[in-house]
Amino acid sequence: MRVESTADSGSPIPGPTPRPASPRQVLLGFFVLFQLAFLLVSNFYGFVSYVLPKKTPDNLRPVVNQAIPDFIYEAGHGWKWGGELETNIRRWTQLTGQEQAWSLFAPNVGEATGFPAVVFLWDDGLDDPLPLPGTFFARDEKNGIHLWAPWNRGGSPEPSLATMGRLGILGAANPLDALTLAAVPFAKPTDKAPRVELLLSRNEPTNLSNFFRVSNCRVRRYDGSLYQNLQPYPDETREKLETRSTKLVRELVQDYQHDRTLAYLKWRRKVWIDAHPDELRPRQVLLFERFMRIRPPEEGVHGWDPPILYPMARWQPEKKVDGSGYVLEYFDYTTKRFCPGP
């Protein structure tokens, strides 16, 4: 369409077309209206279906329930109709890639951080590799149950095992802790240690106190899918913490997450083998979380605590696979052993 302009200043140009709208124009119009409706519904319904059931204050629940019966209990007509609507919207989202999940650092932000780390073991068939000789399990109120190991780069400096055991008793919070710590000096200190190699995430800075990051955002996203926070809740008992930690870690080797975790471990092993073609291949590949509690502003010191190790999963590349296809084992915090998934 070519029309004369009254000026170059960019004022409105043509008058309305005398012709009827072509099929293309009608189709485009419907597309514009559909997109508007899509944006409106997907964003608001997503928010409402999250907020009303989870965040409605108890004193308002009866009132809200009168207006939209059973919705806040995730039941009833409204909830089911909404579910159908959301499913159809999701299909359009998947088809076109217009994900509408806008919640950057919201509603909550992480008060801890971490990186996945891979440990290679060249052992002589250790069924229960943890704790390895020279390492032990520790527990504290801030971080929960974790593995102290001398090869944990940048980890908290610990005295020798013997000293740790004796001094640790003094700081034990209860008799069970005291017994555990008292046993530390005898925790395989004289066993022959297998060869161990710790591989940090590619996204983890070498010097956590001073770095400047310009890449690895893609690796960070993948790393994030393996992240678990195993910090204890206030007043959580040891048994409950162990059970909860096991449940969280177990998720990493279940269903589709199994394949994703395995792909990560395979990739790290392949990269290492490509870089060390003449060396023996590791027999066990252990996945750890290098977890760091961020010091809250009340503590007055910026930064985070030294990284600690949460055992997560194990892969034995040379082990025979059963018919289920699951080859990863999760770490059971109750028994302190790797157990077959899922």
Partner 1 sequence: MPSSEPRSAEIVGIAPWLPWPFSAWSWWTEPVRAERLAALRIGVAACLIFDVAYNYAPETQAFFGRDGLGAPAVFDYQFKGPRTTWSLLRGASDHANLYLSLTCLIATTLWIVGTSLARWLLVFGNPQPPSDRTGIAAGLWIASLIFYTLSVWAQMLAARWFSPLAYGIPLVGFTLACLYAVFEFSTRLRDPTHRVPWVGTFLMVFTPTCLALIGLLLFCIESPEALDKDVWWFRVLQSWQEDDFLILLAMGFWITSAVLFLFGCATRFATIAAWMLSLSFQNANPWLDNAGDTIRLILLFYLMFCPCGAAWSIEALLHRRRGPVYVHPWPIRLLFVQMIFIYFINGLYKLLGERWLTGTSLYFVLADAALIRFSPVAFPIPVWMTRVMTWSVLAWEVAFPALVLFKWPRRLALAFGVLFHLGIFATMELGGFVPYALCLYLPLLPWERLTLRRERGEPLGLQNAT
* Chain centroid to CA 281: 28
Which residues, in sequence order, are CB contacts of 286 under 8 Å at separation 6+? 118, 119, 120, 121, 129, 130, 311, 312, 313, 314, 315
Nearer to partner 1 among residue 174 and residue 210 (C-beta): 210
DSSP symbols for 264-275? HHHHHHHHHHHH
Closest CB 258 distance from partner 1, rounded Å: 10
Q: Is residue 205 within the footprint of partner 1 (CB under 8 A)?
A: yes
- Report the C-alpha gap between 78 and 84 in whole angstroms: 10
Q: Is residue 9 within the footprint of partner 1 (CB under 8 A)?
A: yes
Closest CB 305 distance from partner 1, rounded Å: 11
Closest CB 143 distance from partner 1, rounded Å: 15
From residue 49 to residue 88, the character string flagging contacts with partner 1 as x (rule: CB under 8 A) and all else as - is --x---x---------------------------------
Nearer to partner 1 among residue 62 and residue 107 (C-beta): 107
Angle between helices 76-96 and 23-55 (to 10 degrees): 130
From residue 225 to residue 244, the character string flagging contacts with partner 1 as x (rule: CB under 8 A) and all else as - is x-------------------
Q: Is residue 17 within the footprint of partner 1 (CB under 8 A)?
A: yes
- Report the C-alpha gap between 234 and 142 in whole angstroms: 9
9 exposure class (CB count in 10 Å sphere: 0-12, 13-18, 19+): exposed
Nearer to partner 1 among residue 67 and residue 102 (C-beta): 102
Stretch that binds partner 1, among 1-9, 73-81, 316-324, 331-339 (CB under 8 A): 1-9
The correct pick among 86, 123, 140, 259 for binding partner 1 (CB under 8 A) is 259
Q: In this structure, what token pair is assigned to residue 138? A: 């520790």
Footprint of partner 1 on 98-127 (CB under 8 A): 98-111, 113-115
- Total of residues contacting partner 1 (CB under 8 A): 95
**CA neighbor of 130 nearest in space, from 71, 188, 84:** 188
Q: What angle do CA 341, 272, 325 make, to 5 degrees?
A: 25
Q: Is residue 303 within the footprint of partner 1 (CB under 8 A)?
A: yes
The correct pick among 69, 133, 185, 224 for binding partner 1 (CB under 8 A) is 224
